């Protein structure tokens, strides 16, 4: 309860919010009957309800004023001034982008990742290439082979001598 003096808050008065709603005709039939029953017996609440009803009716005479006919035109002019050229170009596509933007972005991301994966094997180094043999190395190797052959030819003769 609000508004009713503290010394009257003994349960014998109606809640002020209920009285406001009663005057505003916002209560259902059961509540209205209950409040009206209370008002018959309570002079303070009856006085408040009567005063509130008078205020409500007085306020009713303040009817809504008509809006200027060019209100919308002026508003849309102000809106147009604020909208950038990019917005104007994108405006027809915006609903399409908002509805389908996410799938499009997701597909683009997938394609990008797939492209990276496909490109990757070419970057991975393969088995070690055979080392190139230079002419010097080949000549050196041939000389060593020649020396070994020469050694093999001499070696059996030398090894046979101690057996003698």
Partner 1 sequence: MTERVQSSVGCLAAALDYDAELMLRVKEGDDVSFGLLLEKHRTSVVNFLYRMVQNHAVAEELAQEVFLRVYRSRATYEPTAKFTTWLFRIATHLALNALRDGKNERTQERLDDDSSDLPARQVADQRQTVEQRMVYQARLDEVRKAVATLPDKQRAAVLMHKYEEMEYSQIAKVLSCSESAVKSLLFRAYETLRARLAHMA
Residue selected from 5, 7, 28, 64 as contacting partner 1 according to rule CB under 8 A: 64
CA distance 66 to 101: 43
Give which of 19, 17, 3 is closest to 53, Cα–Cα.
Answer: 19
Contact 2, 17 (CB under 8 A): yes
CA distance 96 to 106: 15
**Is the Cα dihedral 110, 115, 116, 117 positive or negative?**
positive
CA distance 38 to 122: 92
Residue selected from 9, 24, 115, 142 as contacting partner 1 according to rule CB under 8 A: 24
Confirm or reject binding of residue 16 to partner 1 (CB under 8 A).
yes
Confirm or reject binding of residue 55 to partner 1 (CB under 8 A).
yes
Our separate counts of H helices and E strands in the chain read: 7, 0
* Segment contacting partner 1 by CB under 8 A, of 43-51, 103-111, 119-127, 151-159: 43-51
Give which of 2, 41, 8 is closest to 20, Cα–Cα.
Answer: 2
Closer Cβ to partner 1, 56 or 112, answer by number:
56
Confirm or reject binding of residue 100 to partner 1 (CB under 8 A).
no
Nearest approach in angstroms of CB 73 to partner 1 is 11
Nearest approach in angstroms of CB 76 to partner 1 is 9
Confirm or reject binding of residue 67 to partner 1 (CB under 8 A).
yes
Closer Cβ to partner 1, 86 or 164, answer by number:
86
Nearest approach in angstroms of CB 27 to partner 1 is 13
Q: Can you read off the two tokens belonging to residue 98? A: 């908002």
Residues at the site binding partner 1, with contacts judged by CB under 8 A: 2-3, 16-17, 20, 24, 48, 50-59, 61-68, 71-72, 74-75, 78-79, 82, 91, 94-95, 98-99
């Amino acid at each position: 309860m609000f508004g009713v003096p503290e010394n009257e808050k003994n349960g014998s008065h109606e809640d002020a919010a209920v009285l406001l709603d009663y005057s505003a005709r916002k209560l259902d039939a059961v509540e209205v009957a209950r409040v009206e029953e209370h008002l018959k017996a309570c002079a303070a609440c009856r006085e408040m309800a009567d005063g509130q009803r008078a205020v409500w009716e007085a306020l009713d005479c303040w009817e809504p004023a008509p809006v200027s006919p060019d209100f919308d035109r002026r508003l849309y002019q102000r809106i147009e001034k604020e909208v950038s050229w990019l917005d104007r170009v994108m405006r027809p596509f915006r609903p399409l982008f908002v509805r389908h933007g996410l799938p499009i972005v997701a597909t683009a991301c997938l394609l990008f990742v797939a492209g990276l994966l496909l490109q990757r094997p070419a970057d991975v180094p393969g088995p070690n290439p055979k080392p190139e043999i230079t002419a010097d190395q080949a000549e050196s190797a041939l000389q060593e082979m020649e020396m070994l052959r020469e050694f093999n030819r001499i070696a059996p003769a030398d090894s046979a001598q101690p057996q003698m």
